[in-house]
Amino acid sequence: MGEKFTLNVDGLTHTVMADPDTPLLYVLRDDLGMNNPHFGCGLAQCGACTVHLDGQPIPSCITTISAVGQAKITTLAGLGTPEKPHPLQAAYIEEQVPQCGYCIDGWLMTAAAFLRDNRKPTDAQIRSALEGLKCRCGTHVAILRAVKRAAAMMG
C-alpha cells in the first residue's frame, strides 16, 4: 500500500501511493505513465534516468520518492514544448543527434542545467560537465556539436 506522496512534475501536481524507498524513476514511469526518463543501469552510472529536482540534474534511479520532498521535478518532456523547444532540444534536431534516443534524458537535462549557469562555456568545460554520461550509439561528437549550438543560441 505504501504512503501518500504529492509530486510536482513538469508543472502538474500528482498524488501517488508508494513505498518511501521506491526510486523516483519507477514512480514517474510506472505510476505516472511517463515514457521518459529511461531505465539504463539503475546505478547512477549512465544518466538515462536524469531529471531535474529544483533545476539540478539527479539520477532518478537511485533517488527515492521520499527524498524528493517539495522539490519541483522537471523531465525532458517539461524542458520545452514542440512549439517552443528548449534550445538544446532544437539543437539536437538540427544536428540530427539521436540514434536510438535512449540516452537523451541524461545529456539534455545535464546540459540544460550547465548552460543555464554557463552561457559561454569552453569545449573543455562542456566535456567536463557531461563527463560520465553514456551513449551506446556513439553520438558523442554530435552531442558536443548540439550543446555548442545551443550555447550559442542561449548566449
Binding residues vs ligand FES (CB under 6 A): 39-42, 44-49, 59, 61, 98-103, 135-137, 139
Closest CB 155 distance from ligand FES, rounded Å: 26
Could you give the CA distance from residue 81 to residue 44 in angstroms, rounded to a whole number? 27
Closest CB 108 distance from ligand FES, rounded Å: 11
> Which residue, 119 or 136, is less far from ligand FES as judged by CB?
136
Count CB atoms within 10 A of the CB of residue 13.
8
> Which residue, 116 or 136, is less far from ligand FES as judged by CB?
136
> Which residue, 16 or 41, is less far from ligand FES as judged by CB?
41
Closest CB 11 distance from ligand FES, rounded Å: 23
Question: For residues 106 and 50, is the Cβ–Cβ distance under 8 A?
Answer: yes
**Cα dihedral sign for 82, 85, 89, 95?**
positive
Closest CB 10 distance from ligand FES, rounded Å: 19
Largest CA distance in the chain: 49
Could you give the CA distance from residue 18 to residue 98 in angstroms, rounded to a whole number? 33
> Which residue, 7 or 135, is less far from ligand FES as judged by CB?
135
Closest CB 98 distance from ligand FES, rounded Å: 5
Residue 54: strand, helix, or coil: coil
> Which residue, 45 or 64, is less far from ligand FES as judged by CB?
45
Order of all β-strands in the sheet with 3-9: 12-18, 3-9, 72-74, 50-53, 56-59
